[in-house]
Amino acid sequence: MRTMALVAWSLGGCGLGISGAAIELADGGGPQAGPDAAAAVDDASIGDAGVDAGSTCDPTKCAGRRCLLDGGCSFFADCRGLRDEGAPTGNGVYPLRQEGGTNTFDAYCEMTLADGGWTLVGQSAGTQESDDFGWGEDTGSVTDTTRPYSIDAFARRLRITEVLAVVGTRESPVAAYVIRPPANFTTNFEASAGAVLERRRIMNPACTDPTIGAEPSMFAWMGHTERDDHFFFRDGSNHDGYGLRAVGWRLNYDGCPQDGRFHQKHGMLFVR
């Protein structure tokens, strides 16, 4: 007999109050989802598992969370998980819980830029430098945009397969680039840097040339994750304090080919 696991699915992440079952086959064939998925499980299997396939989730109770067949809710580990589940999402603060953890934390999710699913890890504000701002630093409040904010992305075990570098505010982003960090970014670059795998312009009205400013050179390297006063980016491996700091982007240049005109502007950094 094939081994099957039942998990909840919901159209619009419970937003419409419609639910069913998703079946993941032990042979790795992937999950099936939808109203007809329950037909793939015979009545005996459902009875043995003690699962009520007719259970529904409460859309008000589980807003922004995953619905379970028993009517309960579970938390997502990051904003990408929230997006991938198809839950009713907009930009805003959501409760998350790291994989294998027990404590929840609030995080800001950007759900519109570059297909959404981005978790905010750093946001500059004001004019004061900070020595608690970087990949491993936890400072400020996610709801206070008047002060620098940094979530400890490593302690929260956030997935970092892509980075979104932004100029502007949460409500009004002005320019944005998607950057793919070097392989093993979270473990291999505490005191060094590596060449990024991709730089891709999402929007930048100050740099619209098809090639100039599409891949700013100051986003070519990432690393130095142990630094406690900035998120490192630059055109080489020596850190020299370049990247996103508590007071804004410091990228040395002010031209589309070098920095996409991010230098000395406030901005944000997201991951997914």
Pick from 70, 50, 52: which is nearest to 61 by CA? 70
DSSP 33-101: -STTGGGGS-HHHHHHHT--TT----TTTSTTSEE-TTS-EE-BSSHHHHHHTT----SEEEEEE-TT-
Biggest CA–CA distance in the chain, Å, is 67
20 pLDDT above the threshold of 70: no
Report CA-CA distances (Å) from 219 to 48, 52, 129, 185, 191: 54, 51, 21, 15, 18
Q: How far, in Å, CA of 4 to CA of 23, rounded?
A: 6
Structure tokens given for 195: 């060449």
Q: How far, in Å, CA of 172 to CA of 193, rounded?
A: 31
pLDDT at position 35: 35
191 pLDDT above the threshold of 70: yes
pLDDT at position 224: 98
Map tokens 């630094």 to a residue.
227
pLDDT at position 250: 98
Predicted structure pTM score: 0.78
Side-chain half-sphere of 15: how many Cα atoms within 13 Å?
10
For residues 80-106, one letter each, b for 16 or more C-beta atoms within 10 angstroms of the residue's C-beta and e for the rest, the string is: bbbbebebebebeebebbbeeeeeebe
> Quick one: how many helices (H) and strands (E) in the chain?
4, 18
pLDDT at position 71: 67
Lowest mean pLDDT among 55-59, 115-119, 134-138, 160-164: 55-59
pLDDT at position 46: 26
pLDDT at position 160: 98
Q: How far, in Å, CA of 31 to CA of 233, rounded?
A: 39
Structure tokens given for 241: 């304090």
Which of the pair, 172 or 51, is modelled with greater confidence? 172
Q: How far, in Å, CA of 170 to CA of 267, rounded?
A: 9
For residue 89, name the pLDDT band (cuts at 50, 70, 90): confident
pLDDT at position 44: 30
Domains of the chain are 1-74 (no CATH), 78-83+90-271 (3.90.215)
* Averaged pLDDT, 106-118: 97
Beta strand pairing status for 19-25 and 66-67?
Answer: unpaired
pLDDT at position 33: 36
Exposed (0-12), middle (13-18) or buried (19+): which is 217, by Cβ within 10 Å? middle
